[in-house]
Amino acid sequence: MNGQYAYVVVFALVGIAFVMITLMVAWAIRPSRPSREKLIPYESGIIPVGDAWGQFNIRYYVYALLFVLFDVESAYLYPWAVRVGKLGSYAVVEMAIFLAILGFGLAYAWRKGLLQWE
């Protein structure tokens, strides 16, 4: 029993050592010529003005989450549509359930007014 765990420990130690050695070698051979222009936060060369803290409207995040939701839906619909003829009626019922859940989510967001940009 202890021999089985020894393989896991050795594998983990080798993995950690590999990562550490790779990072140290990369740090040692990288070019390092900092200048005043390279040390400013923006690559555009614009001198930052004001505080870096800024609040964004929550609607941006809601729109992003809704986009991801329906983007994933389309990623699942395409392979299903290609194979639906061979999958049979069970697959059609499963996809109908999947689309119903997504439709419920869209209806919920719509009813809460999350799709209106004011």
Query: Rounded to 5 degrees, what are φ and ψ at 57?
Result: -70, 140
pLDDT tens per residue across span 50-96 = 776 777 777 788 888 888 888 888 888 888 888 888 888 888 898 89
Q: What is the pTM of this model?
A: 0.48
How much of the chain exceeds pLDDT 90, in percent? 25
pLDDT band of 110, cuts 50, 70, 90: confident
Q: CA 52, CA 57: separation in Å to the nearest integer?
A: 16
| pLDDT of 1 above 70 | no
CATH architecture of 2-111: Up-down Bundle (1.20)
